[in-house]
Structure 1
Amino acid sequence: MKIYPIYILALCLLLTSCKKGFLDRQPLSSISPDAFFKTESDLNLYTNSFYSTFPSAEGIYNESADNVVKSDLGELITGKRTVPISGGGWSWSELRNINYFLENYDRVMSPAAGKKYAATARFFRAYFYFDKVSRFGDVPWYSGTININDEGALSMPRSPRALVMDSVLADIDFAIANMDAGKNVEKVTKWTALALKSRICLSEGTFRKYHPEFNLPNADLFLKAAASAANTLMTTGPYSIYKSSPEKAYLELFSSKSSIDQEVILGRRFSAGLQVFHNLNYYTITASYGRPGLNKSLVNTYLMKNGSRFTDLPGYEKMEYFEEVQNRDPRLSQTIRTPGYTRIGNTKVLVPEFSASTTGYQLIKFVTSEAGDSFNRSENDMPIFRMAEVLLNYAEAKAELGEATQADLDKSIKLLRDRVGMPNLDLAYSNANPDPYLADQYQHVNAANKGLILEIRRERRIELVMESYRWADLIRWKEGRLNAQPYKGMYFPGPGKYDLDKDGKTDIEIYTGTKPTGTGIQFLKLGSEIILENNTSGGNVLINPNTPKTFREDRDYLFPLPINELLLNKNLVQNPNWEGRN
């Protein structure tokens, strides 16, 4: 986002001072409303502080779940999450700042004139509560600031999820009606609010549909709202899908130094001139940050270039790298290194490096030129909302409602396929021929249009990979168990020499016993530096095969509340099956 003067940080720190339980005290007298809220500039300055709510660059690209596999699987994947003493996402200072603003902004301007600032605040309150509900389920709803001596408010129990989400919708609808309608990649607008509403309502609608154990009503009302918000943005908004050529458009969208605002609705800004960087390049090319690589199950999901299914090919399970990446959806070669890959600004052909990628499917999405390769020296912008997600939200909501037509797909999925020269998704064919590979993954899809829902999920996983949607998608679809499946990489028939790009030179040698010698070759010792499913008989690369992965269906769709908060507020109740006071 835009970089603001240091005194904004000081202001935020003052506004988020001491706590009693999880709620902050009233502002200190030095920043009372009379002293601060004097001009429209003050309102703008204050609302700018809300942008810290959005994820950092790492919070966007540093995805894991079952999409991107790293050497450290993490507690979410291993099932080793524990009830935290404090923290754990149960933080409310951002809400306190938003509510304080809403109580005081009209000291400067009339409520009518100040509506756009109130709308911005309510956008961020909707964003805040959506995150909390997605994480914890029921949470206390507070529409105003709390006095430190108000024991009733401080001891408030968790409000029902349905009530909270109704209030979230009221906030986001107010934001849509009253925010500026201009196009601004670094400020929230009416269009950002519509994108957020489509995200919120799709998430809540599908969660209610696929989680009957929570007894949440009106799933279809949320799905209809998701489709409506997305459709409004699609038909009246100033955005479209970025296109140049099928071989590079997708990659260009993410490697561009500045957000391409034809498609990016809101982005996080970075700049060498302002010395504001992130670590994407270093993350993908060194062994220091987990060696991220695409999971085999995702690579298998990419269609062939003619639109047919890769997993329908005989013997696809034992295809080696060169063969398996031929004639695939062009987004595959714009997401990972494939034969012929060269860095931006260089002509040297590079093969995947296992030293930087656990699976061998080495990431190139968001990777820029070598100028950004040093630690924390990448400066390309990061998308927070983009039009592609809105199109996917629309298609999925329509499919889940059982209302999708071919015309709906033509104005959503087709636009993403057109970018990379792929055939359009055919509704009738999809429903007549559900993909058994996807059906095995998404076992709760049983609608009459099962095939279509599966295909839209395929499209979503491919289009949005490395943008940190996957964990939330699996949670709302009730498919968390996919995180506990074996994580795999490239297939190798056993020890030996391998020419990955078929240029006549050995790129990898998998060996047993004494390490061979040679230059320009990746030597990988079987059983330690690389593990194959069947050892010397070959198989897919396995990542941390001796590290158990667990997902508890009776517990892990919600996060636990921290112990300290349960002790401070006796009216809070722990989420089901988490250790601690219930």
Structure 2
Amino acid sequence: MKKYLYIFCTLTGAALMGCTDLDLIPEDTMAPENYFSSEEELRLWTNSYYGMLPGADDLNDICADDVIKNILDNEILGNRTPGTEKAWDWEDLRVINTYFQWCKNCDDVNARNHYDGFSHFMRAYFYFTKVQRYGDVPYYDEVIGSKDNELLYKPRDSRKYVMQKVMEDLDQAIFMLPETKTPYEVNKWTALALKSRAALFEGTFRKYHNLGDWEEMLKQSAAASLELIQKGGFSLYKTGSTPYRDLFARLDAPAEEIILGRRYSTELSVLHNSQCNSMTGNQRVSFTKRFVDHYLMADGSRYTDKPGHEKNEFVAEVTGRDPRLSQTILTPGYVQKGTTKEMINTLSKFTLTGYQYIKYVMEPQYDQSNKSPMYFPLFRLAEVYLNYAEAKAELGTLTQDDLDISVNLLRDRAGMGDAHIDMDEANANPDPYLMADVTGYPNVTKSAMTGVILEIRRERTVELCLEGFRLFDMIRWKEGKQLTNEYHGVYFPGEGKYDLNGDGKMETAIYKDQAPSGLGLTKYKLGVDFFLTNDTEGYMWPHKDVKRTWNEERDYLWPIPTDERSLNHSLTQNPGWEDGLSY
């Protein structure tokens, strides 16, 4: 049943069982012709849009090269098929376009401007996410009925056309939406943030996938970002001694940095699993060594430049690093909020790699499944800083001043002192680790800006982890092959006893055949509890026998569902996907 009928029936209390013809409004409910006539009715209708936005459980456990879990996602396993693709769904768009069809019923111009702007924002968001997934998609800006055969069975429009419509919707939203800031309602600044994000994605996707016409999109991303930075009145959250950790370990969204957050509530039983995923081993969501190696030393020097870094044991590996590392993963000295006892790395109990995340972790009462009421960030100032710097760098127009008003402020907030990105130094000496085929971004633009582009990618990787960006970042940078590299974790030089919290006491032991003796030891049997890359020495090695594939000619787009192509013969399939249909 069409979602707009559901909303009407819900708003008026009518039963859905009376709806028999999907293109007719039931006689016992309110028709659109006499709805949408007041500000309250516009508000009620558009409130449903918030449910179209993703939530914590949709975003913060997506697998990529930085985060893995006990069962890898289909994108990494190579298990996507046209017959099982489920995201080709247009109900949300019908709800939005229904608003545009009938909002003229309201004579309140101020109300219309507000909710028209919100609807333009949501249609832009809807189509941006469709283009991210499928590339070309059919574009509709009106409600389609069952008799509109020409429109129902139209072919896909080009991604360039659709993204131009996305930009037009966002410009309308920016013009119409109020400037009043609240972290839980879409406003002008949210629309600017989405334009910053969407134009960056499309510009870099076109650039790295050789589609042409990429410069204008990056210019639009940079302009939207700069307007928000200069006029939005936002600032980075800096409260307390560990502001990055605390930003993600509180109930309410801090309005200074969060442009739009998703609200959760214990009272309303609207909760999520982010804390459970860390503190109970649910899905065993884990960071990879590739991710941990992105963190600099606290003084700004490169960890991966240090001789012998590859074989540093856990305590040495995490000591003296960018403070965000200890505010993101469990490291020596970590004490969970609401407790007083230091937690020790438990290796394979909660993780696959020994790198257990603490981002989004609050007090222990929220540890269990579907118990966390913490808000979830959807748009925040830090992302806009990163978008701005990246867009300018890819355009070749980045300056040191641009860095100083954007990503260098993130390093300041982290407490890294004078460890700013120096553009000239970065470009003169690009990080070989981040350029390498296995550990880095081998497809990065080779230009005078290569070094600083890599440094911005480092900052993005570190700052935005577990917020739903990484998979699509790797897609737009054309780095999908990196998802199939081996996933590694903490390094162990051999069997024996280990001190994983730096207090001088051996509390952990790993062995292959004979368990070592000793009181208070947590013991792990190699080949049973976890594997090492060289049998009894090396990195923790999860998913060592799991086949992972990435088809460079196919996998940057998802397949069009077979049943949709069976219904609409005008829909072409994305390159490389076979669905058995000859048209």
Deviation string, structure 1 residues 237-281 (Cα, Å, up to 9, x no partner) = 021111135x51000000011111110011111122333221222
Contact 2:39 2:111 in 1 (8 A): no
Q: What does residue 41 of structure 1 align with? A: 40
How far has the Cα of 1:84 moved from its partner? Answer: 2.5
Deviation string, structure 1 residues 43-62 (Cα, Å, up to 9, x no partner) = 00000011111112211322
Assess, with a 3 A threshold, how the Cα gap between structure 1 residues 111 and 249 changes in structure 2: closer, same or farther. Answer: same
Query: Which of 100, 103, 127 in structure 1 is aligned with 2:101?
Result: 103
Assess, with a 3 A threshold, how the Cα gap between structure 1 residues 12 and 532 changes in structure 2: closer, same or farther. Answer: farther
Could you say what secondary structure the match of 2:540 adopts? strand
Instruction: Identify the range of structure 1 (129-138 vs 61-70) with the bigger mean alpha-carbon deviation.
Output: 61-70
Query: Which of 156, 159, 165 in structure 2 is aligned with 1:158?
Result: 156
How far has the Cα of 1:507 moved from its partner? Answer: 2.5
Assess, with a 3 A threshold, how the Cα gap between structure 1 residues 183 and 407 changes in structure 2: closer, same or farther. Answer: same
Contact 1:33 1:104 in 2 (8 A): yes
Q: Distance in 1 between matches of 2:31 and 2:154?
A: 26
Assess, with a 3 A threshold, how the Cα gap between structure 1 residues 270 and 221 changes in structure 2: closer, same or farther. Answer: same
Contact 1:25 1:146 in 2 (8 A): no
Assess, with a 3 A threshold, how the Cα gap between structure 1 residues 283 and 15 changes in structure 2: closer, same or farther. Answer: farther
Q: What does residue 3 of structure 1 align with? A: none
Contact 2:280 2:368 in 1 (8 A): no
Contact 1:351 1:500 in 2 (8 A): yes
Q: Distance in 2 between matches of 1:239 and 1:395?
A: 17
Q: Distance in 2 between matches of 1:362 and 1:349?
A: 14
How far has the Cα of 1:518 moved from its partner? Answer: 5.5
Q: Distance in 2 between matches of 1:9 and 1:515?
A: 65
Q: What does residue 59 of structure 1 align with? A: 58
Contact 1:88 1:561 in 2 (8 A): no
Contact 2:33 2:102 in 1 (8 A): no
Could you say what secondary structure the match of 1:453 adopts? helix
TM-score (norm 1): 0.94
Matches within 5 A, 1:236-247: 236-245=231-240, 247=241
Contact 2:389 2:398 in 1 (8 A): yes
Matches within 5 A, 1:95-134: 95-109=93-107, 114-134=112-132
Instruction: Identify the range of structure 1 (385-394 vs 508-517) with the bigger mean alpha-carbon deviation.
Output: 508-517
Contact 1:17 1:25 in 2 (8 A): no
How far has the Cα of 1:521 moved from its partner? Answer: 3.0
| Structure 1 unaligned spans of 5+ | 1-5
Matches within 5 A, 1:167-246: 167-212=165-210, 215=211, 217-245=212-240
How far has the Cα of 1:520 moved from its partner? Answer: 4.0
Contact 2:225 2:384 in 1 (8 A): yes
How far has the Cα of 1:514 moved from its partner? Answer: 4.5
How far has the Cα of 1:503 moved from its partner? Answer: 1.7
How far has the Cα of 1:126 moved from its partner? Answer: 0.1
Which amino acid in structure 2 is aligned with residue 429 of structure 1?
A: E
Q: Distance in 2 between matches of 1:27 and 1:226?
A: 42
Assess, with a 3 A threshold, how the Cα gap between structure 1 residues 72 and 351 changes in structure 2: closer, same or farther. Answer: same
Matches within 5 A, 1:224-303: 224-245=219-240, 247-287=241-281, 289-303=282-296
Root mean square deviation of aligned Cα = 2.1
Which amino acid in structure 2 is aligned with residue 424 of structure 1?
A: H
Q: Distance in 2 between matches of 1:377 and 1:430?
A: 44
Q: Is residue 316 of structure 2 the alignment partner of residue 323 of structure 1?
A: yes
Assess, with a 3 A threshold, how the Cα gap between structure 1 residues 62 and 31 changes in structure 2: closer, same or farther. Answer: farther
Contact 1:388 1:416 in 2 (8 A): yes
Contact 1:414 1:425 in 2 (8 A): yes
Query: Which of 294, 300, 307 in structure 1 is aligned with 2:300?
Result: 307
Instruction: Identify the range of structure 1 (194-203 vs 371-380) with the bigger mean alpha-carbon deviation.
Output: 371-380
TM-score (norm 2): 0.93
Assess, with a 3 A threshold, how the Cα gap between structure 1 residues 294 and 13 changes in structure 2: closer, same or farther. Answer: farther
Q: What does residue 81 of structure 1 align with? A: 80
Assess, with a 3 A threshold, how the Cα gap between structure 1 residues 240 and 18 changes in structure 2: closer, same or farther. Answer: farther
Q: Distance in 2 between matches of 1:312 and 1:27?
A: 67
Query: Which of 418, 421, 429 in structure 1 is aligned with 2:415?
Result: 421
Which amino acid in structure 2 is aligned with residue 534 of structure 1?
A: N
Q: Distance in 2 between matches of 1:161 and 1:99?
A: 20
Which amino acid in structure 1 is aligned with residue 38 of structure 2?
A: T
Deviation string, structure 1 residues 177-218 (Cα, Å, up to 9, x no partner) = 000110011110000000000000000000010001xx3x32
Could you say what secondary structure the match of 1:266 adopts? strand
Contact 2:137 2:158 in 1 (8 A): yes
Q: Distance in 1 between matches of 2:228 and 2:560?
A: 36
Deviation string, structure 1 residues 120-171 (Cα, Å, up to 9, x no partner) = 1010000000000010000000010012111111101001111111111110
Deviation string, structure 1 residues 424-482 (Cα, Å, up to 9, x no partner) = 11101000000010011211221211000000000000000010100010000000111
- How many percent identity over aligned positions? 44
Matches within 5 A, 1:406-555: 406-422=400-416, 423-440=419-436, 441-445=440-444, 446-515=446-515, 520-536=520-536, 538-555=537-554
Q: Distance in 1 between matches of 2:15 and 2:303?
A: 55
Instruction: Identify the range of structure 1 (49-58 vs 324-333) with the bigger mean alpha-carbon deviation.
Output: 49-58
Query: Which of 358, 380, 392 in structure 1 is aligned with 2:352?
Result: 358
Could you say what secondary structure the match of 1:41 adopts? helix
